[in-house]
Amino acid sequence: MAQLYRRVALIGLGLIASSMALAMRRAGLAAQITGHAPSAQTREAALELGLVDTAHDSSAAAVAGADLVVLCVPVGAMGPVAEAIGPHLAPGATVTDVGSVKQAVIAAVAPHLPEGVHFIPGHPLAGTEHSGPRAGFAELFENRWCLLTPEGADRDAVERLRALWEGMGAHVEQMDAAHHDLVLAVTSHAPHLIAYTMVGVADDLRRVTDSEIIKYSAAGFRDFTRIAASDPTMWRDVFLTNREATLEILGRFTEELFALQRAIRTGDGEHLHAYFTRTRAIRRGIIEAGQDTDAPDFGRVPRR
């Protein structure tokens, strides 16, 4: 794989940034990687793990001379970070981000970027419930999608960024920022809020102990707790910044849930069976699209 950037600056050194660093190193996509994190402990970990060549306590210092700057901070922190680095960006540099919401990030970041800098918002659809520089691994983006919402950005700059993501193993697609936010509200944001809610309800229930819930969580609930263990700050910001789309989907969700509750109450087995048969078909599509495995043990036991 050819080297694509001379110097990549990672602003924020959590799960996504550390995985990017490892994936870029593996494929030789960047000659040099610099990083910024406010926490000295995080910077030390990033250096120790070889994620970055230099770690800076100032974001301005980290971006100096970089031809690619990647904003890897929670969505709510994107604006302040852009404001801090704006005056220090090299002419012709590309700025991208990895935020889960695109319209709000564009509104917060774009005003702070000088002319001549290419802003190409991005969002890799990959993650785990773990956080921090030690959570990263080079395979995180393999066979996952990265969505770019370039909206008129320089074509060569977009193609170079696409090549970077492809070099890290991802498939790249472009779409409009508003559409991105709606698609993600359905596939990610609403499901996360629902999982958080269910786990909270279980914890509240006096007649069932936490230890019972934990012991007997194999069926169904376990997958919810995995989702509900995601980073609280990141997710708070997602819901506050993708408010409209998330609330729209949640509104439809409660409407549908009430209809199913009513079917249970009235004993309408046909309605339930037809609904469950339909949702089963969607699962087939996901497996055929290669976005999950079909292993009967949920893929948790290694098989070769």
Burial 98-118 (b: 16+ CB within 10 A, else e): bbbbbbbbbebbeebbeeebb
The strand pairing partners of 36, in sequence order, are 11, 56
Give the nearer residue to its own copies in terms of CB position, either 156 or 203: 203
Residue 199 CB, shortest distance to its own copies, in Å, is 4
Residue 31 CB, shortest distance to its own copies, in Å, is 27
Per the listing, tokens 């359905």 go with 186
Give the nearer residue to its own copies in terms of CB position, either 91 or 302: 302
Residue 240 CB, shortest distance to its own copies, in Å, is 6
Residue 90 CB, shortest distance to its own copies, in Å, is 32
Residue 226 CB, shortest distance to its own copies, in Å, is 7
Phi, psi of 8 (to 5 degrees): -105, 130
Residue 162 CB, shortest distance to its own copies, in Å, is 16
Task: Please tell me the distance from the alpha carbon of residue 281 to that of residue 259, in angstroms, as a whole number.
Answer: 20
Residue 107 CB, shortest distance to its own copies, in Å, is 15
- Biggest CA pair distance of the chain: 67
Task: Please tell me the distance from the alpha carbon of residue 206 to that of residue 223, in angstroms, as a whole number.
Answer: 22
Give the nearer residue to its own copies in terms of CB position, either 2 or 282: 282
Give the nearer residue to its own copies in terms of CB position, either 23 or 89: 23
Let me know: does 249 contact 185? Beta carbons within 8 Å.
yes
Which residues are CB-contacts of 95 (< 8 A; sequence separation ≥ 6)?
69, 71, 82, 89, 109, 113, 117, 118, 119, 120
Give the nearer residue to its own copies in terms of CB position, either 36 or 180: 180
Give the nearer residue to its own copies in terms of CB position, either 155 or 222: 222
* Strands in the chain per DSSP E: 5-11, 30-36, 54-56, 68-71, 94-97, 118-120, 122-124, 145-148, 171-174
Nearest CA to 68 out of 17, 104, 108, 112 is that of 17
Give the nearer residue to its own copies in terms of CB position, either 76 or 122: 76
